[in-house]
């Protein structure tokens, strides 16, 4: 996902010796998103990539020992059910707010990419990163 350095920086910042990440990668949803008139009321494919810094689990092969990463997709779905966002950054912030709710989530990145933006021959996206305050 390319955000590993952000999570490494966050782990160092927090003084963690044992840590890991959980990820949601390449989730694609059709989203009504954009500031231009030609984007309103029209869905376009958007890719969602999320990475969350967590402390290494204590051990044991039980979901109770880890942060259940299925909540990442639910965070996307919940954000999409809210009012229409004009900006990718607004939608990313909504997702980031939800992703950081569990106490086990120490830092996170949320990336959105418009895969086929109208009027462009490229993909356009944004990434937001949140680390705890000292």
Q: Is the pLDDT of residue 7 over 70?
A: yes
Domain ranges within the chain, ordered by starting residue:
4-130
Architecture of domain 4-130: 2-Layer Sandwich (3.30)
Task: Give the helix/strand (H/E) hosting 16.
Answer: none
Crossing angle, helix 88-99 and helix 70-81, to 10 degrees?
130
Q: Taking residues 15-20, what's their average pLDDT?
A: 88
Write down the H helix ranges in 1-134.
Answer: 4-14, 70-81, 88-99
| CA distance linking residue 120 with residue 69, whole number of Å | 33
Q: Name the pTM for this structure.
A: 0.89
Q: Which pLDDT does position 110 carry in this prediction?
A: 98
- Integer Cα distance of 115 and 113 in angstroms: 6
Pairing outcome for strands 44-55 and 107-114: antiparallel
**What percent of the chain stands above pLDDT 90?**
58
55-82: pLDDT as tens digits: 877 777 777 777 888 999 999 999 999 9
pLDDT at 48: 98
């Amino acid at each position: 996902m390319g955000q590993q350095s952000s999570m490494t920086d966050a782990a160092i910042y927090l003084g963690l010796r044992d840590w890991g990440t959980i990820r949601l990668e390449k989730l694609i949803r059709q989203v009504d998103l954009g500031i231009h008139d030609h984007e309103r009321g029209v869905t376009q494919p958007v890719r969602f990539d999320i990475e969350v810094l967590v402390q290494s689990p204590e051990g044991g092969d039980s979901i109770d020992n880890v942060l259940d990463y299925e909540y990442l997709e639910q965070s996307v779905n919940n954000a999409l059910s809210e009012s229409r966002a004009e900006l990718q950054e607004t939608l990313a912030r909504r997702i980031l707010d939800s992703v950081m709710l569990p106490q086990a989530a120490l830092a996170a990145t949320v990336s959105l990419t418009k895969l086929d933006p109208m009027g462009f021959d490229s993909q356009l996206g944004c990434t937001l990163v949140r680390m705890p305050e000292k």
